[in-house]
Amino acid sequence: MKKVYLIGYMGCGKSAIGKRLSFATKMPYYDMDTEIVRMTGLTIPQIFEMYGEERFREMETEFLRTFRDEFCIIATGGGVAMRKENREIMRKTGLVFFLNAPFRDIWRRISTDRNRPIVQRSTHSDLEQLFNNRKPHYLHGAHFKVETENRSLRDIVDYIAFQIGRLKGEYK
């Protein structure tokens, strides 16, 4: 096991938890969107606008295929677990944690966000449907499902850090 992947819907807490987990485990933290923005020199809305969503999905897969081989924590984008190839790469190269949150918490966090093209173009009910469609893929891709509802960040981070510590030696 080298990498720790956090997967789940937009607004489920991947970045907030990833950063704290990095502090707790002393493993470096990377945010996939941030890395893609850095590599392309474009924002996520610009990539969607200029190249289309499909090209963005290719960039995500490319990132997973080629990202450096080191112990690290990676917060993935909310659509990453939809592709079979992506799920296979993540499961093969690391431990995968699905952060589960109820849609009403998610909506509260993402509804006013301007940096997420999918939110910009969708209604509340579109986003809820997408959430329901995606959930089986998150469950399928993950080694662990982590409940976040009514739990503090600290509690969630402690739980994931414990699982990493317990399994580190087993995944090589």
Q: In whole angstroms, what is the distance from residue 152 CA to residue 167 CA?
A: 23
What one-letter code names the amino acid at 51? Y
Query: How far from 32 is each of 14, 26, 150, CA to CA, in Å?
Result: 11, 19, 27
Residue placing its CB nearer to ligand S3P in the complex, 26 or 114: 114
From the list 33, 89, 101, 137, which residue makes contact with ligand S3P (rule: CB under 6 A)?
33
CB of residue 55 vs ligand S3P: minimum separation in angstroms? 12
Binding of ligand S3P by 17 (CB under 6 A): no
By CB under 6 A, name the one of 3, 63, 74, 79 that touches ligand S3P. 79
Min dist CB 157 to ligand S3P, Å, is 18
User: For ligand S3P, which is the closer residue by CB, 66 or 169?
Assistant: 66
Q: For the chain, first and last CA: distance in Å?
A: 5
Out of 77, 94, 157, 160, name the contact with ligand S3P by CB under 6 A. Answer: 77
Under DSSP, the state recorded for 169 is: G
Amino acid present at 151: R
Helices (H), the chain: 14-25, 32-40, 44-51, 53-66, 84-93, 103-110, 117-120, 124-141, 153-167
Out of 13, 18, 78, 141, name the contact with ligand S3P by CB under 6 A: 78
Q: Which residue in 6, 17, 27, 44 binds ligand S3P (CB under 6 A)?
A: 44
Q: Assign residue 41 a region: left if phi > 0, alpha if psi is -120 to 50, beta otherwise?
A: left
β-sheet bridge partners, residue 4: 73, 95
- 105-164 residues near ligand S3P, rule: CB under 6 A: 116-118
- Residues forming contacts to ligand S3P in the complex (CB under 6 A) are 10, 14, 33, 44, 77-79, 116-118
